[in-house]
Amino acid sequence: MSSSEPLSIRAFQQLIRSRYYKTDVQRGTNGTFMLFIEEVGELATALHENREGAKPAAKHKANLSEEFADVFAWLCTLANIAGIDLTDALTKYTQPDRVKGVKG
């Protein structure tokens, strides 16, 4: 898969699975969840450091991009361990009768 091709959620989750599943499943859910939370913390720090507001300055955008990618990769890892296909799970947001309103 070249970097110029669009990457689907399913393809990315499968990529993570094919590269890391053996190690991930040995680590287990608890250990993997802790690594996921560590990455969420790094994203939180990057968001806090972006003092320019909603649209990050160029120097922060690369770091934010990396941290968002890391969080998503670890989320895919957790889903793989749990046997969840994220593409299927996300259909709840494409069905108008399933998710209503916004959290305040």
- Banded model confidence at residue 3, pLDDT cuts 50, 70, 90: low
Is 0.75 surpassed by the pTM of this model? yes
- The C-alpha atoms of residue 30 and residue 46 are separated, in whole angstroms, by 25
Give the residue among 68, 72, 22 at the shortest CA–CA distance from 43. Answer: 68
- 63-77 pLDDT per residue, tens: 899 999 999 999 999
pLDDT tens digits along 16-31:
999 999 999 999 999 9
Structural domains in the chain, CATH included, are 12-82 (1.10.287.1080)
Residue 89's Cβ-count burial label (10 Å; 0-12, 13-18, 19+) is exposed
Residue 51, pLDDT above cutoff 90: no
